[in-house]
Chain A
Amino acid sequence: MHIRYRCELIIERMAAPRACRILEDAGLTGYTVLPAISGFGGVTRWSRDTDMSASSDMVVVISIGAQAQIEAALTEIERLLSNHIGVLSVGEVRVLRPGRF
């Protein structure tokens, strides 16, 4: 098993394409976007079925890569999160096929 870094970004759906562009520009070779169902943050409770425009929907963007690529993405993601609603976490993970990340 090989050590890589997993970046997990919970972000509003409308900003997800921006986050994905940042990941691609940082050289990460892949990511997955998952829908989030409901949540609570600050003073706001949200759920997918509240907003017809789906503009308040949240998604989770997951990407795994080498430390250098993840760090390259983090600066821009921090800038993104200064405007958009979202939470970022990064953790160490073990992967089976290191050549893919």
Chain B
Amino acid sequence: MDIALSTLLSPIVLFFLLGLGAALLRSQMTIPEAFAKGLAIYLMMSIGMKGGVEISKGALGWDAGLVMISAVALSFLLPVIAFSFLRLTTQLDRVDAAATAAHYGSISIVTFVAAGQAVAAAGLEAAGYLVAVAALMEVPAIISALVIANRGHAHREAVAGSDKGELVREVLLNASVVVLLGALVIGWITGEAGMQSVAPFFVAPFQGVLCLFLLDMGLSAGRGLRNGWRQLDAGTIAFGFYMPLISAGLAAGVAALNGMPPGDAALLITLAASASYIAVPAAMRLALPKAKPSVYLTLSLGITFPFNLILGLPLYIWLARMVSPGAA
């Protein structure tokens, strides 16, 4: 209860709610687009470097490798489950359901960042390699979803003007993968000394920048919800709430099997429960252009992201504590 209250009343959640409320009330407030993109890159550089520095302090063991393999497997599996639920409980066609499922198998890096703050506030510690896990979980869900969408259409005609390498470039070299993994490697190479040299920029202002970014996320989520909610039926809206819980349950099982400490488990559970709204939508526009962005974006950004940020994080930390062997 204390964790739930402290998460709900944290500046990052309150700023998110401010943005969400302002957008729903049709406020004209905006954060300049280029500035918001700069903030996203800053946050990814910061957590990437911090993760790399943590890794540099000790060699990665087999246990970390097993977690990475499990996380990738989970990311392949989640779209299959999401797709089945969407087809059973909603009116979405195969392509829309597959595109939406891809979002729920991939991850939201902003939810991960917020989870890192909530985990620290709960007095738990998380290993640096979880940043690499986050980057690894971006892509497999896209592959699963494409396989699902193309089943029975082995010779689907190529879209006019398409280039063979464009999807691979978009999926493997999108900004979040490049910046996260790049900053992780830089943090790993430069270690604690390198981090100290950039700490006044990457460490001290982090919380404030995150507040600013979440204010913008609140505006985006609110506007997305306001513009797109008519596209969603009751079953689809319900999916936005229950799918993160199913994913969290499966990730909790993975965490328990791997004997992960509670801080690490909380982050893995959050990654599985989160839904992408940056990397996957772009990939889906190229790979499945007939899928409706008003469905999958409204669902992942307008429903699941606020749900995870406000109610999910305390729940996932509690779940992590339940399944971790060394939990208090």
Using a CB–CB cutoff of 8 Å, the interface residues on chain A facing chain B are: 12, 14-15, 17-22, 25, 43-56, 76-77, 79-80, 83-85
Contacts and interface: CB of A to CB of B under 8 A. Distances in A.
Given A15-B285, A55-B285, A46 B277 contact: no
Contacts of B166: 17
Interface in B99-116: none
Nearest to A43: B230
A21 B68 CA distance: 39
A50 B285 contact: no
Interface of B (DSSP majority class): helix
B224 interface: yes
A14 B161 CA distance: 12
Contact of A50 (B159, B220, B231): B220
Contacts of A17: 161, 163, 166
A21 to B, nearest CB: 4
Contacts of A83: 159-160, 289-290
Interface of B: 30-31, 33, 36, 40, 159-163, 166, 217, 219-220, 223-224, 227-228, 230-231, 277-282, 284-286, 289-290, 293-294, 297, 301
A43 B231 contact: yes
Given A17-B163, A44-B294, A80-B161, A51 B220 contact: yes
A18 B159 contact: yes
Contacts of B285: 12, 14-15, 55, 84
B220 A14 contact: no
Given A43-B230, A47-B223, A84-B289, A53 B281 contact: yes
Contacts of B279: 53
A19 B278 CA distance: 23
Contacts of A48: 33
Looking at A14, A46, A54, A85, which has the most chain B CB atoms within 10 Å of its CB? A14
Contact of A49 (B219, B286, B290): B219
Nearest to A77: B160
B161 A76 contact: yes
Contacts of A20: 161
Contacts of A25: 161
Nearest to B30: A49
30 contacts: A15-B161, A22-B160, A22-B161, A43-B230, A43-B294, A44-B227, A44-B294, A47-B223, A48-B33, A49-B31, A49-B36, A50-B223, A51-B281, A51-B293, A51-B301, A52-B40, A52-B217, A52-B277, A52-B301, A53-B282, A55-B285, A55-B297, A56-B281, A56-B297, A76-B160, A76-B161, A79-B160, A80-B159, A83-B289, A84-B159
Contact of B224 (A22, A50, A76): A50
